[in-house]
């Protein structure tokens, strides 16, 4: 092994241009593949406060059909309560309204705006927020409609000048006095269901709860369900469907029907659920991703093959001499493969570093979720980006690339007869 | 000389096959990208029909009984809204301010409308209803098809005329509304009365990435009876006074823009609204561009590597050429032409694949078609030129090296 490594480095040094060309080519391909993987990972990988993404199911929208027309959008709280909230199988079910920009003020200081999400008390069971001060509002607070708010660190600083010790203090939200119940770490806009800067019980905003349409079936609320285990998901879907069918019987006499388009969705499907009137096509998304991967892999592989091919021709006489002196085909093939493996591995590490650097520098443009109106860039931290699985993908790609680009020429080089090798002929 | 070159390429078909395969794949993908970019860029550059520079969206909210500031005796929300609009319109830095519903550009929510004239019925669905106060056309600087200014259009709206995009009856083989101005139309939203067409509008695009050919809309006046805090309040700031407008408005909001129970709850600039609305399209464009750059880099590296070795192998041949009277320039040209011949051969096959893909609608749609002769030739040409450029740069270094070969030394080694 040691000799082979030494030989490889000798080879690399002998042809610096070619070494650079092959390393840079492979590194770029891996770099782009890693970016594609990261952009995908960021949508599904678990991180606080959505650490249980693998156990989550979402119902963002519904559609009401009436005659030929249909109304599409989020649901009314009463609809959610009769269909999803009363399910027995899940660990917890939360009802919330996606954030809207609202006005904050402290008496006498400058007003500012923040993204405010209306939630119930179960929200704090489904999502695991990191409280740095105080605690969430309880079920009793929620039911009583007490004006309490959980706020994030940045907003706390903007309002009170400090991030800690502000629990219990008062501020005005929409010109209504609210008391801070707890302070949490800032949440990335990538956590699409749980992101906000301020969370308040929806019972404190009667107007939002009463905003309903399509005969009080539709409103402005969505649902996230936390299952006990991944295996429970199918059972939850069945229960939700059964409840939906029961609900539809009650509105049948109005000539209406609520359809869910196979919701609740898991996190991956939810991440591309942009319209209430279409079911997202996860398979098509995967197909596009595979085509991208294949193009990103094949082109540099052909490139490397072409180069390995030319390089081997140069070394044919060397191979011929070694074989004349009794070196086995296997050992030569082995050397060529190892040689390229080392090159690809170097390139892989370079590509990985490049992709991480790029992810940091361009995080806003790379990761901002589509169709959101938040003005702040998404927070991306190492815990979101660096997953063992991601690095595993990269390494596997490395080896596939290596196999594709050197396997064929290596096999050719070993199969030609010694005489041809010595003559440098194919 | 070229015949010899062909022979040489044929003799080295094994290693040329690799290059050919690579060039073929890259040609097809580059064509796809060029085609995509062509569609996006031509759409982007076609006239929008509106102007959002210096425009802002102001969100108005209503106090609720939970607030200590709530005034239960104030029930004239419509009147309050009118007063608020009025105050804004008279602000020193404001050029125009308007209220509307589902009307501003880059708006995800739409309402549609059907338009009937005599026996022509457009049906509803594809025509966007813009329900606005007259100054809306001044805020977004709409223009009439006959050159009417935004001010003239606003005046027409004020007198209860409707404005319709000029291209609306094209599906009914009527190319322009020119002869219909002043005639009365029926709208599906209110069939009890008829509306006079005040002017035809230049087509208003829904967003930047469509050609505007199929964008239809109809504007009619919203009166005070329909005002409410759900209305979109859009303002245009005077060109020379648009510095820190948002900050200034926030400072002012509590003093001047609190009318009854209404208050300002958010201000957004339209350039932000546009960025958010078109993120998906912009991301697609970025991804295609990065993909194209990646492929070009690969072609460059691959050609550079392969020809580097070739030059080393052909040392003897090149020396012989030189000994027999070839100039440095001949050697250089010969190498470059070899690369371009390979690309041309690959492009012939690529065109066959491209044509099939376009025929099967696998590329980008543009106004309902995927295969247009001009666009196809253009994208093929662009992809050929870009790859050719990379090949020339890639061969440049090995060819330079080849030029420097000293025949005496090289032949001596042989």
- In a shared domain, residues B249 and B290: no
Cβ–Cβ gap A25/B272 under 8 Å: no
Residue B40 resides in a domain: yes
Residue B36 resides in a domain: yes
Question: What's the rounded mean pLDDT across residues A84-99?
Answer: 94
Q: Tokens in use for A42?
A: 């960021």
Q: Which long-range contacts (CB under 8 A, 24 or more apart) does B356-360 make?
A: B357/B28, B357/B32, B358/B35
Whether B223 contacts chain A with CB within 8 A:
no
Interval A288-307: pLDDT, tens? 888 888 888 788 877 777 77
- In a shared domain, residues B82 and B120: yes
Which residue from B14, B280, B308 is facing A370, i.e. has the nearest CB? B280
Residue holding tokens 């996860």?
Answer: A282
Cβ–Cβ gap B266/A102 under 8 Å: yes
User: Does position A137 have pLDDT exceeding 90, yes or no?
Assistant: yes
- In a shared domain, residues B12 and B127: no
Asked if A352 and A30 touch (Cβ cutoff 8 Å), the reply is yes
- In a shared domain, residues A254 and A323: no
Contacts of A110 in chain B (CB under 8 A): 250-251
Residue A55 resides in a domain: no
Sheet strands (E) in B339-390: none
Q: Cβ neighbours of residue A271 under 8 Å, at least 6 residues apart?
A: A43, A44, A192, A369
Residue A56 resides in a domain: no
Tell me how crowded residue B329 is: count the other CB atoms within 10 A of its CB: 9
What residues 86-145 of chain A have any CB closer than 8 A to a CB of chain B?
101-103, 110-111, 113
Question: What's the rounded mean pLDDT across residues A311-330?
Answer: 77
Residue B195 resides in a domain: yes
Q: Tokens in use for B14?
A: 């094994």
3-state secondary structure of B217: strand
- In a shared domain, residues A77 and A189: yes
Give the residue among A393, A389, A288, A407 at the shortest CA–CA distance from A340: A407
Worst-scoring range by mean pLDDT, A161-170, A332-341, A351-360?
Answer: A332-341
Question: What's the rounded mean pLDDT across residues B30-37?
Answer: 94
Q: Which alpha helices (H) appear in B46-135, and where do they start and end?
A: 77-89
Instruction: Provide the domain limits for residue B290.
Output: 2-47+279-413
Worst-scoring range by mean pLDDT, A60-64, B255-259, B394-398, B401-405?
Answer: B401-405
Residue A274 resides in a domain: no
Whether B15 contacts chain A with CB within 8 A:
yes
Q: Tokens in use for B263?
A: 């208050």
- In a shared domain, residues A18 and A88: no
Of the residues A12, A293, A307, the best mutation for testing chain B's interface (the one with the most B CB atoms within 10 Å of its CB) is A307
Q: Can you give the pLDDT at residue B79?
A: 92
Question: What's the rounded mean pLDDT across residues A329-354?
Answer: 81
Q: Tokens in use for B82?
A: 């009118």
Interval B290-299: pLDDT, tens? 989 988 898 8
Contacts of A298 in chain B (CB under 8 A): 25
Domain count of chain A? 2
Instruction: Please tell me the distance in Å from A58's CA to the nearest CA on chain B.
Output: 22
Residue B63 resides in a domain: no
- In a shared domain, residues A217 and A333: no
Whether B272 contacts chain A with CB within 8 A:
yes
Greater model confidence, A188 or A411: A188
Residue B53 resides in a domain: no
Q: Can you give the pLDDT at residue B190?
A: 80
Whether B80 contacts chain A with CB within 8 A:
no
Scanning every residue of chain A, which has its alpha carbon at the shortest distance from the alpha carbon of B21? A302
- In a shared domain, residues A71 and A12: no
Interval B165-179: pLDDT, tens? 999 888 888 888 888
Task: Work out the pLDDT band at A421, boundaries 50, 70, 90.
Answer: low
Flag whether the ipTM exceeds 0.90.
no
Interval A33-63: pLDDT, tens? 888 888 888 888 888 899 999 999 999 999 9
Instruction: Please tell me the distance in Å from B158's CA to the nearest CA on chain A.
Output: 32
- In a shared domain, residues B364 and B398: yes
Residue B346 resides in a domain: yes
Instruction: Provide the domain limits for residue A387.
Output: 2-47+282-423
Cβ–Cβ gap B266/A101 under 8 Å: yes
Which residue from B14, B22, B29 is facing A302, i.e. has the nearest CB? B22
User: Does position A311 have pLDDT exceeding 60, yes or no?
Assistant: yes
Average pLDDT, chain A: 85
C-alpha B381: how far from chain center: 22
- In a shared domain, residues A186 and A242: yes
Q: Can you give the pLDDT at residue A390?
A: 65
Q: Can you give the pLDDT at residue B253?
A: 83
Asked if A363 and A378 touch (Cβ cutoff 8 Å), the reply is yes
Give me the percent of chain B exceeding a pLDDT of 90: 45
Cβ–Cβ gap B263/A103 under 8 Å: yes
Domain count of chain B? 2
């Amino acid at each position: 092994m040691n000799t082979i490594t030494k030989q490889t480095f000798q080879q690399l040094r002998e042809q610096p241009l070619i070494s650079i060309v092959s390393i840079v080519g492979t590194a770029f391909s891996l770099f782009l593949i890693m970016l594609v993987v990261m952009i995908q990972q960021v949508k599904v990988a678990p991180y606080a406060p959505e650490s249980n993404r693998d156990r989550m199911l979402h119902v963002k929208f519904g559609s009401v059909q009436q005659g030929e027309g249909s109304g599409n959008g989020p649901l009314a709280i009463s609809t959610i309560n009769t269909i999803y909230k009363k399910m027995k199988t899940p660990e917890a079910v939360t009802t919330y309204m996606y954030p809207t920009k609202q006005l904050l003020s402290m008496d006498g200081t400058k007003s500012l705006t923040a993204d405010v999400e209306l939630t119930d008390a179960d929200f704090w069971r489904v999502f695991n927020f990191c409280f740095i001060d105080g605690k969430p509002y309880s079920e009793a607070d929620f039911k009583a409609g007490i004006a309490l708010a959980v706020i994030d660190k940045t907003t706390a600083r903007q309002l009170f000048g400090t991030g800690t010790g502000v629990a219990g203090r008062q501020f005005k939200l929409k010109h209504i006095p609210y008391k801070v119940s707890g302070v949490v770490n800032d949440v990335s806009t990538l956590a699409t269901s749980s992101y906000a800067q301020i969370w308040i019980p929806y019972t404190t905003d009667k107007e939002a709860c009463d905003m309903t349409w399509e005969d009080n079936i539709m409103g402005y609320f969505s649902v996230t369900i936390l299952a006990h285990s991944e295996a429970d998901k199918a059972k939850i879907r069945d229960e939700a469907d059964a409840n939906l069918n029961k609900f539809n019987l009650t509105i049948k006499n109005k000539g209406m029907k609520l359809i869910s388009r196979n919701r609740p969705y898991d996190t991956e499907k939810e991440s591309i659920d942009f319209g209430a009137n279409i079911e997202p096509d996860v398979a098509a998304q995967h197909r596009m991703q595979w085509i991208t991967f294949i193009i990103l892999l094949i082109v540099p592989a052909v490139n490397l093959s072409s180069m390995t091919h030319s390089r081997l021709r140069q070394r044919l006489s060397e191979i011929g001499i070694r074989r004349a002196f009794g070196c086995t085909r296997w050992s030569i093939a082995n050397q060529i493969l190892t040689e390229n493996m080392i090159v690809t591995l170097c390139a892989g590490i370079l590509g990985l570093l490049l992709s991480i650097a790029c992810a940091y520098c361009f995080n806003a443009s790379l990761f901002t979720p589509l169709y959101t109106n938040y003005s702040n860039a998404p927070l991306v931290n190492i815990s979101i980006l660096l997953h063992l699985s991601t690095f595993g993908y990269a390494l596997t790609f490395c080896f596939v690339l290596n196999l594709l680009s050197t396997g064929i020429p290596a096999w050719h080089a070993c199969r030609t007869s010694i005489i041809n090798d010595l003559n440098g002929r194919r | 000389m070229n015949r010899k070159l062909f022979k040489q390429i044929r003799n080295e078909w094994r290693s040329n096959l690799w290059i050919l395969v690579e060039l073929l794949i890259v040609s097809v993908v580059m064509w796809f990208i060029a085609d995509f970019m062509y569609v996006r860029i031509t759409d982007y550059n076609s006239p929008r029909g509106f102007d959002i520079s210096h425009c802002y969206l102001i969100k108005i909210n209503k106090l609720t009984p939970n607030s200590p500031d709530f005034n239960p005796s104030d029930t004239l929300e419509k009147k309050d809204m009118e007063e608020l609009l009025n105050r804004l319109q008279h602000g020193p830095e404001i050029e125009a301010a308007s209220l509307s519903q589902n009307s501003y550009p880059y708006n995800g929510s739409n309402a549609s409308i059907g338009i009937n004239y005599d026996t022509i019925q457009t049906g509803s669905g594809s025509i966007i209803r813009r329900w606005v106060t007259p100054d809306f056309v001044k805020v977004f600087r709409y223009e009439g098809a006959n050159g009417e200014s935004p001010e003239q259009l606003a005046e027409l709206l004020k007198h209860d005329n409707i404005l319709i995009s000029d291209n609306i009856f094209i599906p009914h083989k009527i190319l322009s509304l020119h002869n219909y101005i002043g005639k009365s139309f029926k709208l599906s939203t209110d069939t009890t009365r008829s509306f006079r067409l005040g002017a035809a509008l230049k087509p208003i695009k829904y967003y930047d990435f469509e050609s505007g050919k199929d964008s239809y809309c109809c504007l009619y006046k919203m009166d005070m009876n329909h005002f409410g805090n759900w209305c979109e309040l859009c303002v245009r700031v005077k060109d020379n006074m648009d510095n820190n407008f948002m900050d200034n408005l926030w400072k002012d909001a509590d003093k001047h823009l609190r009318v009854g129970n209404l208050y300002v709850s958010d201000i957004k600039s339209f350039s932000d609204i546009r960025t958010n609305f078109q993120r998906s399209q912009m991301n697609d464009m970025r991804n295609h561009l990065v993909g194209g750059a990646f492929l070009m880099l690969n072609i460059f590296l691959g050609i550079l590597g392969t020809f580097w070795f070739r030059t080393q192998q052909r040392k003897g041949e090149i020396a012989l050429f030189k000994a027999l009277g070839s100039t440095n320039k001949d050697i250089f040209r010969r190498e470059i032409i070899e690369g371009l011949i390979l690309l041309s051969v690959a492009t012939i096959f690529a065109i066959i694949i491209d044509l099939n893909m376009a025929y099967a609608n696998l590329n980008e749609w543009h106004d309902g078609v995927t295969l247009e002769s001009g666009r196809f030739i253009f994208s093929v040409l662009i992809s050929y030129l870009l790859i050719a450029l990379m090949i020339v740069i890639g061969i440049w270094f090995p060819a330079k090296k080849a030029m420097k070969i000293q025949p005496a030394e090289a032949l001596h080694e042989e």
